A and B are shown apart, each in its own frame.
Chain A
Amino acid sequence: MNLLWLIMICVSIVFAIFTGNLEAFTKSIFEGAKSAVEVSLYLLGIVSVWMGITKILEDSGLIYRIAHLFKPLICRLFKNIPDDHPPITAITLNVLANLFGLGNAATPLGIKAMQDLDALNEDKGTITPEMMTFIVINTASIQLIPFSVIGILANYGHRNPAAVVFPVLIATGISTLTALLVLAAFRKIFR
């Protein structure tokens, strides 16, 4: 992350100097700060709501029941999670929310999953293989039906906007699988 950020900042400033976009660049820094505040405020609301809901899941013990139910599926991808543990539930709910395109639920539940995974982390501050698998699944995007895209296409008079569903499904399926394969390959190399 450090290297990536350093490259982005340096490349941007060098380009800004040579293309005469210095003013725009400086302005954009503060725009970036502003949108970080806006997104954080938005997240503050939805994350708190989902923390409230998942707390009820925890207090009632439902979180362990759901974990037990989905253990066979989730533990195939995440090997080092103990049986019936909370991360299984959070990961399951996050994946379901992603599949159904429920963005407002997917991110907070993903945060919850990361916290639950971190509870199992012995070396705090360093990422675990389970966290990596989880993040890679999330960055690869596993949506069944892209409602927002269909909505925009329909808005501009596409005859059959739903035609995009099948290609998206195939593309997202292949890319999620390859993402997991790339991760597995890196894991072999860097072990």
Chain B
Amino acid sequence: MIESFEYISLLIIPLFILFTVLYGTFKKIRVYDSFIAGAKEGPAIILKIFPYLLTIFVAIKGFQASGAFDTIRDAFYRLFGFLDIPIEAVSMGIIKPLSGSASTAFFVDIVKTTGVDSMATQMSAVIMGSAETTFYVLAVYLGAVGIRKTRYLVPVCLIADFIGIVVAVAVTRCFF
């Protein structure tokens, strides 16, 4: 079942591109020129996004390197200690919204050190699969259109992340 789904995923983009260029040709569009005209917009968009990305990345890397991250993780761990959540899963819950590459590296590390069948691995797997790198999404999407006033968006995203991780922990408990 998973294999066939993976195959469909592989098919989607090529089929979509094929359909798009054929439909364009059918509508008498010079698809080559259209593609170039669109691609021309790319650099301008990235130039807009870059400062947002840089600003958030500097803050995230600094946060991890300064030891603040470890302290906050330990605090969360102690705070929710009575729930008996593995510390690896707590870390994963905090890393995932901050950085995609760091969370992948960390997940591999958890699998290696605690084993593929451990509670820490299962819980982290569900968190990995069900959470998104919130800060990256915010920087890229807000940067793309130069939004400065985000109103209540950031607190909503942070609360939603927190709930998402609680849900992931609860769901893992039910299943494993």
B56 within 8 Å of A (CB atoms): yes
CB-contact partner of A182 in B8, B156, B168, under 8 A: B156
Interface size on A, residues (CB 8 A): 100
Contacts of B101 in A (CB 8 A): 35
Contact assessment for B27 and A32 in the assembled complex, using a CB-CB cutoff below 8 Å: no
Contacts of B151 in A (CB 8 A): 126-127, 132, 190
Contacts known (A40-B50, A59-B29); A140 close to B160, Cβ less than 8 A? yes
Min distance, Cβ A39 to any Cβ of chain B, angstroms: 6
Contacts of A149 in B (CB 8 A): 107, 125, 128-129
Give complex CA distance A66, B49 in Å.
Answer: 28
A78 within 8 Å of B (CB atoms): no
**Secondary structure at chain B's binding surface: helix, strand, loop or mixed?**
helix
Contacts of A170 in B (CB 8 A): 171
Among A13, A101, A140, A165, chain B packs the most CB atoms within 10 A around the CB of A140
Contact assessment for A139 and B132 in the assembled complex, using a CB-CB cutoff below 8 Å: yes
Contact assessment for A5 and B67 in the assembled complex, using a CB-CB cutoff below 8 Å: no
Contact assessment for B34 and A55 in the assembled complex, using a CB-CB cutoff below 8 Å: yes
Which B residues, 124 to 152, have Cβ-Cβ distances below 8 Å to chain A? 125-126, 128-132, 134, 137-138, 140-142, 144-152
Among B2, B12, B40, B156, chain A packs the most CB atoms within 10 A around the CB of B156
B87 within 8 Å of A (CB atoms): no
Contact assessment for A146 and B117 in the assembled complex, using a CB-CB cutoff below 8 Å: no
Give complex CA distance A135, B112 in Å.
Answer: 34
Return the CB mask of A154-184 against B: 1 if under 8 Å, else 0. Answer: 0011100010111110111011001100110
Contact assessment for A39 and B23 in the assembled complex, using a CB-CB cutoff below 8 Å: no
Contacts known (A29-B61, A62-B23); A182 close to B129, Cβ less than 8 A? no
CB-contact partner of B55 in A5, A60, A121, A167, under 8 A: A5
Contact assessment for B163 and A51 in the assembled complex, using a CB-CB cutoff below 8 Å: no
**Secondary structure at chain A's binding surface: helix, strand, loop or mixed?**
helix
Contacts of A27 in B (CB 8 A): 65
Give complex CA distance A188, B21 in Å.
Answer: 44
Contact assessment for B65 and A138 in the assembled complex, using a CB-CB cutoff below 8 Å: no
CB-contact partner of A40 in B23, B49, B171, under 8 A: B49
Residue in A closest to B151 when the chains form the complex, CB atoms: A127
Contact assessment for A175 and B138 in the assembled complex, using a CB-CB cutoff below 8 Å: no
Min distance, Cβ B29 to any Cβ of chain A, angstroms: 5
* 3 closest residue pairs by CB, A with B: A55-B38, A48-B42, A146-B129
Write the residues of chain B forming the contact surface with A, with a CB cutoff of 8 angstroms. Answer: 1-2, 5-6, 8-9, 12-13, 16-17, 20-21, 23-24, 26-27, 29, 31, 34-43, 45-46, 49-50, 53-68, 71, 97, 101, 104, 107-108, 111-112, 116-117, 121-122, 125-126, 128-132, 134, 137-138, 140-142, 144-157, 159-161, 163-164, 167-168, 171-172, 174-176
Write the residues of chain A forming the contact surface with B, with a CB cutoff of 8 angstroms. Answer: 1, 4-5, 8-9, 11-16, 19, 21, 24-25, 27-29, 31-33, 35-37, 39-40, 43-44, 47-49, 51-62, 96, 100-102, 105, 107, 110-111, 114-115, 117-118, 121, 124-127, 131-132, 134-136, 138-141, 143-150, 152-153, 156-158, 162, 164-168, 170-172, 174-175, 178-179, 182-183, 186-187, 190
